Structure 1
Amino acid sequence: MMKRIRVIIASASMLLLVLGIVGCTKVEYTQIEEPAYLRVFNNLNYVQTLDSKDDKVPFFCMLINPVVGVDGTLSEAEIVGDFLDKRDAYAPPYPSHIGSNNSVNNPEYPGKNNVLVGPILNGFDLSSWAQVPSGKLRVVFAYRPKNTIPFFQLEPHLRKDILIDTVINLDGREVYTLHLLQTDFVTKEHGVLLRQENFHKLSLSDSLVYVNFYNMSAKGFWQADATLKDDDYKLASFKSGIKDDMNVFLSLYEDQSKPSHIGATVPGFKGKYMTSVKRNTNLATVSPYVSFPLWAGSTADGIMTPMWQRFDFFVPGMDMTNNPFYAGEKNTGGNWAAVNCLQNGKVAVTSGDNGTLLPNLLVNIHSGKDNPKTFATVNTLEVVNGRIYLTTIQRKYAPPIY
């Protein structure tokens, strides 16, 4: 029986050109007329505790317009996103997973799948979005064993265990991001959230970096006992989650080449209020983008800047001036969490800092005669049950001149 999931879509409009990416081997593609563009993230994480030892591992096959037998066995589908694992902390501005042979596990869709993808639109690279048919689509997320056997080669009894079975409606030539989420931490309810993106339609400056924020954590997560949450030290102050209403503050630091210490802040950008964020797993409205100058740092020369960013999430009434927590404290009761965005997201600032790590929002790359050159980006930071994820979208840049 189809499980009813409420899916709400934020409206937007745009024109896209169809572009296919061809891999190293010959792939026969089916032309899609009036496609929509879809990217899918599995936001479900699991923690091994005595209370959760019998929970199913959230490892899925995503199927669009599947065929289901009378006995409930899934036998084929129009589009298959197999081996869908939990998402990576960083979704870079290019399809980095294609060609990876280390594992069949896929941190997103399309990810490693060799499929028709989106074009360059208004200067934005949409090659991390897959082309899918527009219109009404049936979407199924089916549990699968964590092995390397393709879904439709599994034994029939292993092709019946469905978590989500729902219908979404996609407009042609529009850009969507689909999130698989836990909606209630206590009851373990799940759902999907389909967001219709609008970054490609906005009038954005090349000299500003843009970012928006979401808290898609499950109801009751931050209130839950710490023993029920992931004890990964890399989560730092996000481990306990954040409260349902938070304010976000930005600090810009001058030089990411010296990560052993916090360093000097850019004048005017120490604990600057940016926006507020509310917990939400139902409404798919696009959050407004806020921005900061690409060339704010004192060493910026219009070509390259080593600047990096820190975002502090504070409960309303608290900010940088009255923060009662000390550096390095991880259990803040959901009142404070911080993320440092520098280098490749794997270099700590200090051993006592409480910020989790993500890559720099700025992209430094060889372009034209400059190596490197710094480019502004459009970014999304999403908090989900004690983790924070970064998605970066890059604009078109001139190819290197050697």
Structure 2
Amino acid sequence: MISMKLHQLLLAGLLLGATACSKVDYTEIENPAYLRVFNDLNLKIGLENKDEEQPFMCMLIDPVIGADGIPTSAAIKGDFLDQREPYAPPYPSHIGASTSINNPEYPGKENVLVGPVLNGFDLSSWAQVPAGKHRVVFYIRPKNSIPFFNLEDRLKKTVVVDTTIELGVREVYTLHVLQRDFISKKNGIILRQENFHKLSLSDSMLYVNFYNYSANGFWSADNNLKKNQYSSGYLQYGIRDNMNVWMSICEQGTFNTVAGYKFKLLKNMVRDANNSSVASYHPVPVFADAKSNGISTTVWQRITLLYPGIDPNNNPYGSLGYDPDGQYAMLSCNSTDPVKPLSDPGTLLLPNMIVNIHSGRDNPRSFATVNTIEIVNGNAYLTTVQRKYPPPIY
């Protein structure tokens, strides 16, 4: 895990190597809010819609707009905002990880003040922004390395979303740019005020909540209109607007479930790309396997999405090659299994929600996390937030 201070030191080191003697001066924010932004526009651009813009954007907060309608500056800029990646880890992993300037989220690679450790949660993946009311505009920009304000004026005109948000002092927000309607191509945002740092959570439990932010009409549209997302398995063509979410806890390298944790019904999930409220978190034991020593565990989580009325123990869509018509999908949180990667066709693979790291005298040690899974137009995204843990003792 990387703390806010270490995050800033890493940034400073990278900048020092890139710019020699240049100095970065941070402006202290007296009453900050904490903001993280994802580009959920995972659109398919092909021959049938080749005239649509690539969903590659620049975010401007409180822009200054000239008389000709062209932005000339902004209080905050989040440039090169690319489509989000399947996993948003509990630390700013994108620093120095790639030579690409493309940003899978904001702040991501941006050199800005980030959040502190707040009530034990590391907010170094959230940017500090002034609390209060702000105008936020997302512009389509070309996929090149030219900073937004250096582009030709004609390339700074296409607006994806232009809206106003209000941020509370020391509140934590996640903002999503997404498609509201698949047929009309209407876009919008969801600004979700998070509450995980305010909850009384057990250290022996990991927590997860779920959202279906898919566009209206996505799953029922012709599959030829949808992006080819073969790695999403059955999920790639979308799920219905009303689905039950079941979880199983499995042993490492197998589909064998831990006793008592096969197809636990967590919730009924309703699609809503307009609702910014926080979904309830569901507790899942970290050390569910009786064979674990209470320090580390190798179990993983399998999530089954089924249309209400379908029994997960008698699932007619379970055999491969059968089109589930939006009534069945799977997510397996085991993609980092170092011993035996599972052959699990039809499922989307995500990392384990339990974080296993060197901590204290234990290597590894398993820690609980707070997780969010968002389903958007045939894909699923996992965001993991980690608490502040003791550093290794050598």
TM-score range (shorter-chain normalised) is over 0.9
In structure 1, C-alpha distance between the alignment counterparts of 2:26 and 2:239, rounded to whole Å: 44
Identity %: 56
The residue number in structure 2 matching 1:350 is 343
Q: Contact 2:335–2:341 at 8 Å: present in 1 too? A: no
Bigger drift between 118-127 and 93-102 goes to 93-102
In structure 1, C-alpha distance between the alignment counterparts of 2:79 and 2:314, rounded to whole Å: 48
Q: Which amino acid aligns with 2:8?
A: I
The residue number in structure 2 matching 1:4 is none
The residue number in structure 2 matching 1:48 is 45
By how many angstroms is 1:296 displaced?
0.5
By how many angstroms is 1:159 displaced?
1.4
Q: Contact 2:218–2:238 at 8 Å: present in 1 too? A: yes
By how many angstroms is 1:383 displaced?
0.3
Q: CA offsets per residue over residues 191-246 of structure 1, 9 Å max, x none? A: 00100000000000000010000000000000011111122320101111111111
In structure 2, C-alpha distance between the alignment counterparts of 1:321 and 1:304, rounded to whole Å: 30
RMSD of aligned alpha carbons: 1.7
More helix by share: 2
Q: Which amino acid aligns with 1:151?
A: F
Mapping for residues 2-401 of structure 1, pairs under 5 Å: 21-22=8-9, 23=11, 24=13, 25=16, 26-255=23-252, 258=253, 262-329=254-321, 331-344=323-336, 349-350=342-343, 353-401=345-393
Normalising by structure 2, we get a TM-score of 0.93
In structure 2, C-alpha distance between the alignment counterparts of 1:287 and 1:119, rounded to whole Å: 24
Q: CA offsets per residue over residues 60-85 of structure 1, 9 Å max, x none? A: 00000011101011111110000000
In structure 2, C-alpha distance between the alignment counterparts of 1:380 and 1:340, rounded to whole Å: 14
Q: Which amino acid aligns with 2:132?
A: G
In structure 1, C-alpha distance between the alignment counterparts of 2:302 and 2:203, rounded to whole Å: 21
List gaps (5 residues or longer) in structure 1.
Answer: 1-16
Q: CA offsets per residue over residues 345-400 of structure 1, 9 Å max, x none? A: 8985215x321100000000000011110001000000000000000000111100
1:388 aligned counterpart, secondary structure:
strand
Q: Contact 2:248–2:301 at 8 Å: present in 1 too? A: yes
2:180 aligned counterpart, secondary structure:
strand
Alpha-carbon distance change, 374 to 343 in structure 1, aligned in 2, over 3 angstroms: farther
1:390 aligned counterpart, secondary structure:
strand
1:321 aligned counterpart, secondary structure:
helix
1:21 aligned counterpart, secondary structure:
helix
By how many angstroms is 1:18 displaced?
11
In structure 2, C-alpha distance between the alignment counterparts of 1:202 and 1:354, rounded to whole Å: 35
Q: Which amino acid aligns with 1:268?
A: G
Q: Which amino acid aligns with 2:376?
A: V
In structure 2, C-alpha distance between the alignment counterparts of 1:267 and 1:20, rounded to whole Å: 40
In structure 2, C-alpha distance between the alignment counterparts of 1:331 and 1:60, rounded to whole Å: 35
Q: Contact 1:236–1:330 at 8 Å: present in 2 too? A: no
How many pairs are equivalent? 380
By how many angstroms is 1:21 displaced?
2.4
Q: Contact 1:254–1:299 at 8 Å: present in 2 too? A: no
Q: Contact 2:116–2:124 at 8 Å: present in 1 too? A: yes
By how many angstroms is 1:92 displaced?
0.1
Normalising by structure 1, we get a TM-score of 0.91
Alpha-carbon distance change, 345 to 159 in structure 1, aligned in 2, over 3 angstroms: farther
